[in-house]
C-alpha cells in the first residue's frame, strides 16, 4: 500500500473552495462585510446604505453627501487598502452615489 502524504486541513479546504468556484463570492463577502468597515471607519460604514461589486467595481450608496465626497477623494487609496484586506485583486474602482 502506498503511503498517503498528510496535508493540513487549511490546504484541503482552500483547494475545495477553489475547485467549487466559491473563492470569489467568499472574498466579495469578506470585502463588503469586514473590509469596508475596517478600511473606512465606523462613521463612514454607518453612512453606507448599500454595497455591491459588479465587474470588479465596488458600488457604494451613501446616505451622507459629505462622507460620499470625502471617500470619493480617497477612492484610489481605498481600493488599494480593500484589495490588501482580502489579499486579492478584487476591485479596480469604487463608484459612489
What is the per-residue pLDDT across 74-92, written as a single tens digit (0 to 9) for each? Answer: 999 999 999 999 999 999 9
Between CA 75 and CA 26 the distance in angstroms is 23
Q: Who contacts 43 (Cβ-Cβ below 8 Å, separation ≥6)?
A: 67
- Per-residue pLDDT tens over the stretch 9-65: 888 888 887 787 778 888 999 999 999 999 999 999 999 999 999 999 999 999 999
How many residues does this entry show for the chain?
97
Q: 71: buried, middle or exposed (CB in 10 Å: 19+, 13-18, 0-12)?
A: buried
Amino acid at each position: 500500500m502506498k503511503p498517503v502524504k498528510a496535508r493540513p486541513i487549511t490546504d484541503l479546504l482552500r483547494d475545495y473552495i477553489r475547485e467549487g468556484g466559491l473563492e470569489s463570492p467568499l472574498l466579495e463577502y469578506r470585502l463588503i462585510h469586514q473590509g469596508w468597515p475596517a478600511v473606512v471607519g465606523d462613521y463612514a460604514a454607518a453612512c453606507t446604505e448599500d454595497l455591491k461589486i459588479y465587474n470588479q467595481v465596488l458600488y457604494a450608496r451613501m446616505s451622507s453627501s459629505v462622507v460620499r465626497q470625502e471617500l470619493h477623494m480617497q477612492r484610489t487609496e481605498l481600493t488599494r487598502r480593500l484589495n490588501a484586506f482580502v489579499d486579492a485583486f478584487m476591485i479596480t474602482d469604487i463608484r459612489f452615489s
